[in-house]
């Protein structure tokens, strides 16, 4: 009997900010935002996976469990700073495949 994997969605998150944004600091800020909103159980249910961060485009590709997509969107929307720098992140694209998300990241959209 085949065992199905978890269904995932991949988000392209763009960041508007003055200056450079560190990928590691962004990752930490997103995890903290998600934990603050939904607790550690919610953070575990989200099953986050950081796939890439593009410094030039100020964009990240983040994977999550399909059932937790809207909660992750809310956590992204409520982020306001990384390393004491004001940021405005938004979800530019949601894809069902890693390839689709990375293509959207390269195309800038």
Q: Which residues of 14-30 are buried (b: 16+ CB within 10 A; e: fewer)?
A: bbeeeeebebeebbebb
Residue 31, pLDDT above cutoff 60: yes
d(CA 12, CA 93): 5
Structural domain boundaries enclosing 44: 8-107
Residue 95 lies in a domain: yes
CATH of the domain at 94: 3.30.70.3250
Residue 3, pLDDT above cutoff 80: no
Question: CB-based contacts of 21: which residues, under 8 Å, 6+ apart?
Answer: 15, 55, 58, 82, 85, 87
pLDDT digit string, tens, across residues 32-88: 999 999 999 999 999 999 999 998 889 999 999 999 999 999 999 999 999 999 999
Residue 63 lies in a domain: yes
Q: What pLDDT, on the 0 to 100 scale, is given for residue 2?
A: 54
Query: Residue length, the chain?
Result: 109
pLDDT greater at residue 46 or residue 109? 46
| 3 state DSSP class of 27 | helix
Does the model's pTM come out above 0.95?
Answer: no
């Amino acid at each position: 009997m085949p065992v199905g994997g978890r269904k995932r969605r991949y988000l392209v998150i763009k960041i508007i900010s003055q200056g450079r944004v560190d990928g590691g600091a962004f990752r930490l800020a997103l995890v903290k935002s998600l934990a603050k909103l939904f607790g550690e159980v919610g953070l575990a249910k989200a099953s986050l996976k950081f796939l890439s961060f593009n410094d030039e485009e100020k964009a990240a590709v983040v994977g999550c469990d399909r059932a937790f997509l809207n909660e992750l969107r809310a956590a992204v929307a409520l982020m306001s700073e990384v390393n004491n720098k004001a940021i405005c992140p938004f979800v530019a694209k949601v894809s069902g495949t890693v390839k689709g998300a990375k293509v959207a990241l390269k195309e800038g959209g």
